[in-house]
Amino acid sequence: MAGLIKGPALFLAQFAGDDAPFNSLENITKWAAGLGYKGVQIPTFDARLFDLDKAADSQTYCDEIKGICADAGVEITELSTHLQGQLVAVNPAYDLAFDAFAPAEVHGKPDARQAWAVDQVKKAAVASRRLGLNTTVSFTGSLAFPYLYPWPQRPAGLIEEAFAELARRWVPIFDHYEENGVDIGFEIHPGEDVFDGASWEMFLDACKDHTRCRINYDPSHFLLQGMDYLQFIDIYHERICAYHVKDAEFNPDGRQGVYSGYQSWVNRAGRFRSLGDGQVDFSGIFSKLAQYGYDSWAVLEWECCLKSPEQGAAEGAPFISRHIIEVTDKAFDDFAGAETDQAQIKAMLGLK
């Protein structure tokens, strides 16, 4: 069994802003460390905190980034390419909305936007290697999601072709990650074509079980779908390389259920909450991950429909710390054991 789960750590994306202490990597890492965080997950799509193009080209810049984090008292857990990964595959229905994730010069140009996104995700592999990291986190993007609910009936072959195309786009990226010794952990998330275990298996199969294709485990998205998120760990633990600690609640009633009736986040049956305010069984999750030897980071991703980010972050660090299990190397009944005696063993079994 591997060692201790690392943490607490904080995904910085939801906290970055134009005002101090959220406006620079130096300021925000000192703020996070002051709350008790030991690691930070850095969004590569926020220029206030990180310059991905420079990081892919310059070891000096990467050393500076590591130095800023070390001076604050935190480690870098992973680089995030969630927004760029989303743009690797975009159904035309989402073109206008997702242009906001890309530079202005590729707006209205889906092919150019995709090429930019692929280049960005590849640069994150190089930057991770320069930073001494072996994992990134991302999204798969979506071609088939508009056809999630089959009415009218999907034409035969549509889903298969969507996943075949996802593989054609992602496998060359995985090969690039293999060259750099880095994994991609995908956040399995509604809105992506890979949103549950069944769709994950379809994606992995299309990608020929590529070793660099892995999972960023986030139970909040599974709870909101009514999935067994603990059994998910039993099934897929060998592919889990990253962990977003995020809470949620699902309170269906006579008016709405999983789809939540187009309501705002506050009025939805399914809502993201700050740690401890929702329904996710984190004791069960940390136990499962410890059981299977997960020894990477536990990273708070804060998204709450009610509580402020500052309060959520302040409460999140001690919450994660309380749940990290110091894995024992002893059995509870070792005190009653004795030296192995083969003659005694045979006698106890009635053997000669």
| Residue 53 one-letter amino acid | D
In whole angstroms, give the CA distance from residue 134 to residue 69.
17
pLDDT digits (tens, 9 = 90+) for 66-116: 999 999 999 999 999 999 999 999 999 999 999 999 999 999 999 999 999
pLDDT, position 244: 98
pLDDT, position 338: 67
**What value does the mean pLDDT of the chain take?**
96
329 pLDDT tier (thresholds 50, 70, 90) = confident
Domains of the chain, start order:
6-349 (3.20.20.150)
| Residue 162 one-letter amino acid | A
pLDDT, position 270: 97
Cβ 112 vs Cβ 106: under 8 Å: yes
Structure tokens at 165: 């195309």
pLDDT digits (tens, 9 = 90+) for 128-161: 999 999 999 999 999 999 999 999 999 999 999 9
228-259 burial, b if ≥16 CB within 10 A, otherwise e? ebeebbeebbebbbbbbbbbbbbeeeeebeee
Whether pLDDT at 253 is above 90: yes
Cβ 87 vs Cβ 119: under 8 Å: no
Residue-level length of the chain: 352
Look-up: residue for tokens 């984090």? Answer: 69
In whole angstroms, give the CA distance from residue 170 to residue 2.
30
Element spanning 11, H or E? strand 6-11
